[in-house]
Amino acid sequence: MTDLPPNISGPASGIIQRAKDILLKPKETWPVIAAEPATTQSIYVPYVLVLAAIGPLAGFIGGQVFGFTMLGVTYHPPLVGALVSAIVSYGLSLATIFILALVIDGLAPNFGGQKDQVQALKVAAYSATAGWVGGIFGILPALAVIGLLFALYGLYLLYLGLPVLMKAPQDKALGYTVVVIIVYIVLFLIVGAVVAALAAPSFATIR
């Protein structure tokens, strides 16, 4: 099953197996991903669409059920505002992956790699798996920091994937990865600022 794209091997089982493989045995899985045929649609549907929803959905549920506690005071975002924030966060996450793929593709020649938009999208999408899966901890706001550790592991996945899919020399992989990470951080901050503006404390209720 691991040698087939998620959308071919079956929606649910394919997504789970691919996520498990890229997280637990990335060195063996990246060459499989590099060799399989794919399109932008086949990468997004259903893999990216499903996994990218984990964080926003978990955060929405966690905020409504448990709230966010600061200095002994618990804040519960209003239902409508929290829902809008979750939807916007989800949409921006999907856009971020596409933009990051364009950056990965555009930078490839600068690091001895080969331009290939589909391969670049594979790298962006599958290296993000760790962060998306870690988003489940957002359902318990106190454990959200664990999700950050998953996201950091995603940077390692990116480092392993770039040389394989973009054909960049191994000795340039680190520099390639660092530049992509910088771009990702900028995109992350932009997304965070937009979502934070929608979920401003002034619209929260205190319980």
Task: List, for residues 160-181, the tens digit of each pLDDT value.
Answer: 999 999 999 999 999 999 999 9
Say if residue 124 is exposed, middle or buried (CB neighbours under 10 Å; 0-12, 13-18, 19+).
Answer: buried
Q: How many CB atoms lie within 10 A of CB 38?
A: 18
**Tokens 């901890």 sit at which residue?**
137
Calpha distance 69→90 (Å, rounded):
23
DSSP string, 92-144: HHHHHHHHHHHHHHHHGGGGT----HHHHHHHHHHHTHHHHHHGGGGGSGGGH
- Helices 173-198 & 79-107, crossing angle to 10 degrees? 160
Take residue 123 and report the two structure tokens written for it.
């790298």
**3-55 residue pLDDT tens:** 445 444 457 889 999 999 999 999 999 999 999 999 999 999 999 999 999 99
**Residue 108 pLDDT greater than 80, yes or no:** yes
Cβ contact 130:26 at 8 Å: no
- Looking at residue 200, its pLDDT comes to 62
| pLDDT value, residue 83 | 93
pTM as predicted: 0.88
86: its two tokens: 């979750």
Is residue 126 over pLDDT 90?
yes
Per-residue exposure over 151-171, b if at least 16 CB sit within 10 Å of its own CB, e if not: bebbbebbbbbbbbbbbbeee
How many residues does this entry show for the chain? Answer: 207
Report whether pLDDT(64) > 60: yes
Under 8 Å CB-to-CB from 147, ≥6 apart: which residues?
55, 131, 134, 135, 136, 137, 138
More confident residue, 191 or 195: 191
198, two tokens: 């929608």
